[in-house]
Amino acid sequence: MSWLRPSHGKVYLYATPEHPPHGLENESRTAEIIEGQGLTRERRINYPPSDLGGLMTIKDYVVDPTWVRAHFVAVHWVSEESVWVGPAVSMVTPTRRPTPRSSSGSTRRSSPSRGPRASRWCRPTRARVARRSTRGSPSRSRS
């Protein structure tokens, strides 16, 4: 996540599981209003940014794995009475599929013929290879 360092005030980044209300970014708000809309101190990303000549960057932020979506919001904090909310940037968070478990408690893998439905329908196939014609070839003659 990157942003340009402002000439005054600070920029705080927030991560939330819910999208902030639309229109929040249309005008200056107070700190109390944005906190009431879900951009609380608990949602603030406290990773230290890297300064690349005025371009501030935060890398390797880890999203809560229980969230289905993550919404990132940059807030330009001029004062408690003048806070500007930027547009939200959303992403779908990847989820790990649950590990299949046997109902019998056995740790042995099942045979391929009794595997999940996808394995029965997604089988690799061999492509047919066209044979080269041997007619007129001196090295191969048919008797």
36-46 confidence digits (pLDDT tens):
999 999 999 98
Per residue in 69-110, pLDDT tens? 999 999 999 999 999 999 989 888 766 555 556 555 555 554
Q: What is the value of pTM for the model shown?
A: 0.62
Contact between residue 117 and residue 49 where contact means Cβ atoms under 8 Å apart? no
Q: Of residues 32 and 98, which shows the higher confidence score?
A: 32
pLDDT of residue 83: 93
Q: Which of 56, 86, 82 is nearest to 72 (CA)?
A: 86
| Other CB atoms within 10 Å distance of the CB of residue 39 | 23
Instruction: Name the average pLDDT for the chain.
Output: 76
**In the β-sheet with 55-57, what is the strand arrangement from edge to edge?**
2-4, 55-57, 50-52
| Mean pLDDT on 41-58 | 90
